[in-house]
Amino acid sequence: MTRRNTIVILQPSYLPWRGYFDLIRRSDTFIFYDDVQYDRGGWRNRNQIKTPSGLKWLTIPVHSKGHISEGVLLRDVAIDARTPWRRKHLDSIRHAYARAPHFKATHAFLENILEIDTPLLADLTIATTTEIARHIGLRTQFMRSSQFGLGGNKTQRLVDLLKELGADRYLSGASAKSYIDESMFAQAGIELEYATYDYPVYHQFHGPFTQHVSIVDALMMLGPQGIFQS
């Protein structure tokens, strides 16, 4: 049987959850969708960890000044470096996971990748996500949608990207059902599959199991080799 060329296209996010990395694992090429409008209040510059006082946001401050609401592209959003957000994030992670089985190695790894020096949000989140993927043993090829300079509506851009890369199969998040024109994939001869997320529960600190928290939690509790083996 000929192996299918599976592509995933997702917006870059900050320290995303385990399901994001599962989509990376299941793809041959993973495209960071970085030339779309920035969505204020989404997952692009923040994520959550579990703490003794409940879920806590780790947020990268960005320069807003109103221009974000006017349609700035994700790739152009700048980090606001006036606050020591890296130190604050690492301190919060330390306080939440100091007793975790894989704390020492994971915290040192996070210190290293958060030192990546770039003024742009997407450059940082793409670089850190790529480093985490390699850390947990994923060898997927990474690209950015802005490399291709494609236009058109949402579905047309996706299809054009997939055709450019010779995709046989597009693995999509379930939320995309609300806007995807499935007939366009059929016309292009590309199989469309919506991902499902059904991962085993693992031991967490601070209350009942919570699935949709940053990959930091799974790294602390399971280690890089245990992310998909729990």
As a whole number, the mean pLDDT across the chain is 93
Nearest to 185 by CA among 218, 164, 159: 159
pLDDT digits (tens, 9 = 90+) for 7-66: 999 999 999 999 999 999 999 999 999 999 998 889 999 999 999 999 999 999 999 765
**Running DSSP on this structure, what letter comes out for residue 114?**
T
Q: What percent of the chain lies above the pLDDT cut of 70?
A: 96
- Identify the three-state secondary structure at position 93: helix
pLDDT value at 95 more than 60? yes
Phi-psi category of 51—alpha, beta or left, where left has phi over 0 and alpha has psi -120 to 50? beta
pLDDT digits (tens, 9 = 90+) for 61-81: 999 765 455 679 999 999 999
**Running DSSP on this structure, what letter comes out for residue 228?**
T
- CA dist., res. 225 & res. 230, Å (int): 10
Which pLDDT band holds residue 179 (cuts at 50, 70, 90)? confident
